[in-house]
Structures are given as C-alpha cells and as structure tokens.
C-alpha cells in the first residue's frame, strides 16, 4: 500500500462550534477516524502544520506548506492537504508554482460543512483526495465535489454548493462518480510539471496588489500604490482585459507607473477564455506601454506568478 502524508491546516473541514461561531480545532487523526473507508486505500500518517481559518492564510503560510512537502518528499508517495475553502485556490496556485518538477501527487481538499456536521461533504472529499493521492497523478491538484482540478486552474465559485470549485480554462483532470476517478485523457501525462530533480522555490514579493476596475474608476488610485512602495499591480479589467482609454483614460497614469519600474499585469473579470490585449485599442496600447497579459491564468495564478517574478 502507498504511504500518504496528510497535512492539516485548519479550515471549515476541521471546525467545531464555539461561542463565536465555527473555529478549526480537529487534527488529522480525529478526521481520519471519521472516514473508516480509508483503511483499505493506503497507509496514512498525519502532521498538523497550521490551525487557521483560510481567510487568515497569507503567502508566508504557502511557504510553510511547500516547505513541509519538501521536507517529507522522499518519505511518502503522495500528500493530502486539508484546507479552508475560502483561499484554497490561492494555495493551490502557489504550490503549483513553488513545487518544481513535482512527480508525486499533492492534493488539496476541504469542505463546505465541518466534518462532524450532519450531511457534511467532508468525508467524501477526504476519501476522494486519498484516491487521487494514490493515483499516478503528478503535481498539485484540488479535489472537491465531483472533480479533480489542476492546482493552477482552480477557482471557488460557490459558498455553499458541494461542487464549490470550477476548473478555469482547462478541462477538469478527472470527474468523480461512485467513488471512482475518471481521468481526462492527458491528465496523468505530467500536468505541465518538468521531469528534472524536485525542488522548491518559495521566494515571494509581498508588495503585489490587485485593482478591480469598475466603470468610471479614476486612474489616480495608482498613485496610492506607488506611494506605498508596491512592486507589482494586477489590473482586473473588463472583457478582453484592457484598461479604459476614453474620457477616463488610464493610459497616461499607467505609463507613469511602468516608467517607475512597477510591473503591471492585465487580467480580466471574465472567468473564461482569458486575456487578449491584441484585440482592442485599450489592450494594444497598454501592452505597447509595457503592461503584460495574464493570458489564460486565473487571478490566483497570476498573483503568485507576479510575486515570484518580482522576488527573483
């Protein structure tokens, strides 16, 4: 049987009621006991590395998780990370970039209801995660509801629905039916991970911000981020991802920012089909000034990539 390490980080899946609402409290062994079917799947060891609501996770916690995987990489055949759903897509994106040439499964999962709650989705999600962690999967994936999603393409869409996540701009790696994983044709062929020696890169520049455009939003907001010393900005624009260039023209201020050495990445508020700065004048002109396209990346992946680029 394969040997899998379960890393606990907290989240709703591990929550118990308190006077102030749900708080993460259960550790790995307590949760494993509630999924007895796992006895026939693999050998499981657990390690509690964090006990947090995922809304309180920050880039330093992504580093802690990546370092825990690296420290035990040779000892185990795969990894399952239990995590809160609110920022799980960010952690999945971060690990997808941090774990280089990862040839083993690294599977994140969580739940919309605590594992001890009646009708919880947690036991099924945990069970399916261990199925994925004992499969030929390589690299980072998120298992939730009836899907296995590549870590760099996951996004939370629902606050309550048990199929809370979607795979953005990539087909799900697998669908789950009756406790079986049905893999997409190319899902087990490397997942975009290299074939060299496993390594991690946890360097991140924290002074990165996301600016979400709304109609009429004035570009002088950029002055705030310049004054605060931000190194990179992701502008979440409309449609194909360009910035306004009419009466409310963002291009002159954008040029000022770029000339000061601040990296600017354009992404889109649309979930699917990505950024196309070569389609309309607002995108073409922004790109000429030096703004970069997030292309098909989710916002979560674009954030991590920019943090890593700036940290080099």
Query: Counting Cβ atoms within 10 Å, is residue 268 exposed (0-12), middle (13-18) or buried (19+)?
Result: buried
Helix 299-311 crosses helix 88-98 at what angle (to 10 degrees)? 40
Please provide the DSSP assignment of 255-312 as one string.
HHHHHTT-EEEEEESSSSS---TTSSHHHHHHHHHT-EE-TT--HHHHHHHHHHHHH-
How many whole angstroms separate alpha carbon 303 and alpha carbon 308?
9
- By C-alpha distance, which of 216, 130, 226, 114 is closest to 181? 130
Which pair of tokens denotes residue 8? 């606990």
Instruction: Tell me whether residue 175 is one of the annotated catalytic residues.
Output: no
Catalytic residue among 9, 12, 134, 301: 12
Active site residues: 12
């Amino acid at each position: 049987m394969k040997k899998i390490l379960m890393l606990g980080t907290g989240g709703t899946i591990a929550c118990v009621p308190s006077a102030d609402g749900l708080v993460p409290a259960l550790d790995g062994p307590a949760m494993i006991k509630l999924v007895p079917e796992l006895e026939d799947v693999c050998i499981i060891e657990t390690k509690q590395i964090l006990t947090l609501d995922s809304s309180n996770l920050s880039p330093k916690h992504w580093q802690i998780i990546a370092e825990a995987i690296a420290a035990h990489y040779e000892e185990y055949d795969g990894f399952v990370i239990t995590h809160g759903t609110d920022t799980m897509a960010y952690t999945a994106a971060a690990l997808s970039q941090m774990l280089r040439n990862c040839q083993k499964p690294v599977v994140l999962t969580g739940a919309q209801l605590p594992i001890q709650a009646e009708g919880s989705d947690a036991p099924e999600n945990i069970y399916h995660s261990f199925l994925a962690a004992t499969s030929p999967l390589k690299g980072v994936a998120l298992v939730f509801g009836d899907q296995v999603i590549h870590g760099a393409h996951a996004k939370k869409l629902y606050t309550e629905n048990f199929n809370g996540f979607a795979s953005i701009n990539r087909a799900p790696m697998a669908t789950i039916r009756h406790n079986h994983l049905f893999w997409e044709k190319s899902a087990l062929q490397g997942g975009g991970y290299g074939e060299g020696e496993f390594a991690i890169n946890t360097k991140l520049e924290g002074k990165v911000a996301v600016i979400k455009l709304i109609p009429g939003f004035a570009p002088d907001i950029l002055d705030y981020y310049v004054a605060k010393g931000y190194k990179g900005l992701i502008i979440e624009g409309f449609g194909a991802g360009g910035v306004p260039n009419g009466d409310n023209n963002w291009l002159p201020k954008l040029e000022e920012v770029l000339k000061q050495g601040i990296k600017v990445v354009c992404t889109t508020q649309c979930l699917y089909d990505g950024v196309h700065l070569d389609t309309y004048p607002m995108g073409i002109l922004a790109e000429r000034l030096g703004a970069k396209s997030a292309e098909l990346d989710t916002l979560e992946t674009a954030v991590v990539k920019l943090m890593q680029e700036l940290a080099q």
